Homo-oligomer: A and B are copies of this chain.
Amino acid sequence: MILIYVLNLAISTACAMLRFRVSLLPMKKPVLTPLAESLPATVPFVGPEAAERAMGHPFKARLGANESVFGPSPKVIQAIEKSSEELWMYGDPESHDLRIALAKQLNVQSDEVVVGEGIDGLLGYAVRLFSGPGDTVVTSDGAYPTFNYHVAGYGAQLVKIPYKNDFEDAVGLAAKAHETGARMVYFANPDNPMGSVHDAAVVQQLIDALPDQCLLVLDEAYIEFAPDGSSPPIDTSNPQVIRMRTFSKGYGLAGARVGYAIGHRDTIKAFEKVRNHFGMNRAAQIGAIAALDDQEYLSSVRETVAAGRKRIAEIARQNGLLALPSATNFVTIDCGKDAAFAKSVLDALVARGLFVRMPFAEPGNRCIRISVGHNEDLDLFEQLLPIALKEATG
Contacts and interface: CB of A to CB of B under 8 A. Distances in A.
Nearest to A269: B41
Contacts of A284: 281
Interface stretch (A10-18, A161-169, A302-310, A313-321): A10-18
Interface string A1-38: 10011011101111111111111101111111111111
A213 B31 contact: yes
A323 B67 CA distance: 52
A65 to B, nearest CB: 6
Interface stretch (A101-109, A121-129, A336-344, A377-385): A121-129
A30 B239 CA distance: 7
B4 A11 contact: no
Interface residues of A, number: 118
Contact of A7 (B8, B20, B47, B255): B20
Interface string A49-76: 1100100000000100101111110000
A22 B28 CA distance: 43
Contacts of A252: 87-88
A245 interface: no
Nearest to A31: B213
A389 to B, nearest CB: 28
A183 interface: yes
A191 interface: no
Contacts of A256: 87, 281-283
Interface stretch (A132-140, A292-300, A346-354, A362-370): A132-140
A327 to B, nearest CB: 20
A92 interface: yes
A189 interface: no
Contact of A255 (B31, B35, B88, B257): B88
Pairs of residues from A and B, 7 with the lowest C-beta to C-beta distance, nearest first? A16-B134, A15-B15, A255-B282, A8-B34, A30-B215, A16-B133, A41-B272
Interface of A: 1, 4-5, 7-9, 11-24, 26-47, 49-50, 53, 62, 65, 67-72, 77, 80-81, 84-94, 96, 117-118, 120-121, 124, 128-135, 146, 153, 155, 183-184, 210, 212-215, 238-240, 248, 252-257, 266-267, 269-270, 272-274, 276-284, 287
